[in-house]
Structure 1
């Protein structure tokens, strides 16, 4: 009941129209404090009732009844949380399946419409495209690889430039002969001096390395933040469970029946 009340208070604090909603950090701190207090009060009351209804006057038995309430309460919470997570995942999967089905259906409709539209002038233009010419053009672009860059056409130079750059990305470095070849190709393609082509290639490599370093640094920072957040959350959960156990035992102590001491008569 206290958790539901906290949820209601948190939802009431949201005011999107007036743009006066507290920040995420404020919500997180408030929710954590409320959950801690609600958990402690609930287990305190549960331990008291369990010890009171047990009818035992032994403090150890009462403490064990309080710990039983604590253990069963956290077990039920874990089960309920698991069901919520599973239900959320199932809902998300069904939603994704519906979206994918809609996209596929829409793509099929679009393809049907495109096929209908292609029956006009677009179909005539498509019939004039010869796939064999495209293949021959690609083969021609790759056939003269390693030749004089000045005697190659633009398609041939660009094809070899892409090939060398692919080697640079996959291998992480280029041998000196491949680097010289790339400089000559760039110079011939853009009509610049070999020194200027070399400078441009080095500049592009530096920019690529800087971008890779920045991406790696951001990935490391994100992983570190996730690990730190997970550790902090685990510590808080452990503290909440420990405080809950103490509250359950104290409640059981308060609820223990203390009757008059029995006397032995001779």
Structure 2
């Protein structure tokens, strides 16, 4: 049995990914920050289905805690799975952050950088010695990088997700000698609680999004989780250095 680390596994895409990976027979270490109950719910569902999962708290915006987190991972691998390495990493944890360029403050910008890019960069670096050769990494980017909204409003957020895409491509090159595959997924509009439940607050905008989507609906976390699980599995064994948009064809040809 392999073990996958999924950051931000207490809700949304991360939770769906943890459930999907566990359903395929893998062990899961999932992280959470403020949503401890969501993490417990994810673990309870996995265990009820016969799988094994362990929740660990992680503040992706505080890199000073990464060494202690890596030590926790090492201890958990040994105690629960009698292993000294894990096989896959899903860098999913993050935050929303829509604001127009002229309105973005330095504080907002720095928070986005710290969580979305710097945290992902240095957490991956810290965990790399524990990642098995021949393993895989999937970084969760955003379709805001691959499809630019005419109304704007995502300059800082998308710039950080764009940095994740570039990081993905360079990691694919540098980690190839260890046969570690590195890819990014760029989800389109997906029904989660991100950005303080934006889809619930602005439900009237959902039909407009659906009109712009070839497959005619909003994405669900399960849609994204299935692609992530594929990229981590042997089905994705010949894919590395790629950015896969999973948006149902949002604004395709528009």
Pairwise same-fold verdict (TM > 0.5): no
Structure 2 length-normalised TM: 0.21
The structure whose residues are more often strand, as a share, is: 2
Structure 1 length-normalised TM: 0.20
Q: Which has the higher contact order (CA 8 A, sep 6+)?
A: 1
